[in-house]
Amino acid sequence: MFPLVSRCGRIRKLLAELPDSERPTSIELRGLPGGADSFDIAAQFCYGVNFEITSANVADLYCASHYLEMTEDYSNSNLISRAGEYLDTVVCRSLETSVEVLRCCEPLLPLADELRVVARCVDAIASKASAEQIASSFSRLEYSSSGRLHMSKHARGRGSGGGGDWWAEDLSVLRIDLYERVIAAMKSRGVRPESVGAALVSYAQRELLKKARPDREPRLVVETITGLLPLERFAVPLSFLFGLLKSAVALDCALSSRLDLERRIGSQLDAATLDDALIPSSGNEGDTLFDVDTFHRILINFSQQDCDSEDDDLESLFESDSPAAAASPSQSALFRVSKLVDSYLTEIASDANLKLNKFVAVAESLPAHARTVHDGLYRAIDVYLKLYRCNPLPQTFTSPGGKRAHDSMVIRTVVSVPLASTVAPLVLPIYGHRAGCGEAMKRPNEFLHRFFGLY
């Protein structure tokens, strides 16, 4: 036992505490990091037996040598020094090896964190990823015929999926808490937002598809990934944001995470599809099939973002008759979202649990100038009114945009005065050009009878 005593401060202290008359046959080392395997290697080191430090055991050995107090105070070039040297000269020089060691630190927490093994690996991964990205960017430069340096067409075509982002898949093996620290370090090192976004997409897809996981873990993954999303727009695909939001709704994630996703989606809603917008409800009794409240909040975010960015030019933009003003990006975005809203309303209109006030709230969530043609809204209203088991009126109406609504899209008789009072203001923008409409609006039943043949 002498070599162990001479190199291990902990064992030396345990023996020193015993009376001289007692000779222990065994010593209990509770909580030894790495267990019996780590102690076996430590014993080999003490007795001069050849052994190998590898990326698979270096974290265990470093933590075990700290536990055993195998420091320079008891022997020169002791085990903790040997393991620390391997971390610095071998592990931290390779991104893949650093990831492997970081993964081995999972069962060693929090000790591995206290001893800065985790910090060394995280810093090494972030610095290597940043260096790889810089090297990749330089490799994609070429000289033009005029002698100027520019990025090659092939490199521009590859975008952020170039050779500098190969590490994204390697990081997917990490546990979410360690992965969060790596991504945060990468962002602080200046790794491109689109590269960080691609890594987050890869990790989320891998983690959320796993089965038989504790209920808490998928929710933690969604909330953490949401918090790590780059601030820059378009750093991740819009479809991924919607997928993350659908998972957040299904897993009942923190409200702050859901609101963050809604805000991000609202800033680029004009690129969304109907499939994106159909967010399933959490499944409580009495809920609509799709989460109308969430989509409504997204629309409000879109409208506010549009107003915030265009407040100064809004009046001149929509009062101008010039083709340039009509084709402005802001107006085109509003038009695309209005078509999405009308398609969404048509899709949810047949839901028996859909309340009228929610239907109206979604329909009115965009400014009046968003719609140039109202046929989509007319169709949605027609589908919604079918729920009241009414007789069809085979009429054809023409919207202000000049496009005739289809003959089969008919308004049906409404049997509720409160419903008439709500629907009449909603459809006023469509048929408000008819003579006497404004006066009739003061009496909703008369309005529906006069202009739709109802009542």
Q: Residue 356 has what pLDDT?
A: 87
Residue showing tokens 């015929």: 145
71 vs 78: CA distance, rounded Å:
6
225 vs 223: CA distance, rounded Å:
6
Q: Residue 264 has what pLDDT?
A: 95
Token duo for residue 281: 């409800």
SS3 letters for 211-266?
CCCCCHHHHHHHHHHHHHCCCCCCCCCHHHHHHHHHHHHHCCCCHHHHHHHHHHHH
Residue showing tokens 């990749």: 136
Residue showing tokens 């879109």: 302
280 vs 297: CA distance, rounded Å:
15
83 vs 285: CA distance, rounded Å:
58
Q: How far is CA 45 from CA 3, 82, 85, 188, 329, in A?
A: 9, 10, 15, 40, 70
18 vs 284: CA distance, rounded Å:
65
pLDDT in tens, the chain (455 residues): 577 888 888 888 888 777 766 666 677 888 899 999 999 999 999 888 988 999 999 999 999 999 999 988 888 889 999 999 999 999 999 999 999 999 999 999 999 999 999 999 999 999 998 888 876 654 444 555 555 544 455 444 444 444 556 788 889 999 999 999 999 999 999 999 999 999 999 999 888 876 545 545 899 999 999 999 999 988 999 999 999 999 999 999 999 999 999 999 999 999 999 999 999 998 776 788 999 999 999 999 998 874 544 444 433 333 444 433 333 337 888 999 999 999 999 999 989 889 888 998 999 898 888 888 888 888 888 888 876 544 443 444 444 444 444 443 444 333 344 555 555 555 555 444 444 444 544 455 554 554 444 44
**107 cis-preceded (ω within 30 degrees of 0):** no
3-state secondary structure of 142: strand
265 vs 299: CA distance, rounded Å:
9
Q: Residue 421 has what pLDDT?
A: 55
- Please state the pTM of the whole predicted model: 0.76
Q: How far apart are the first and last CA of the chain?
A: 102
Q: Residue 12 has what pLDDT?
A: 86
- The C-alpha angle 124, 129, 130, rounded to 5 degrees, equals 100
Residue showing tokens 């320079």: 72
Q: Are 130 and 168 in contact (CB under 8 A)?
A: no
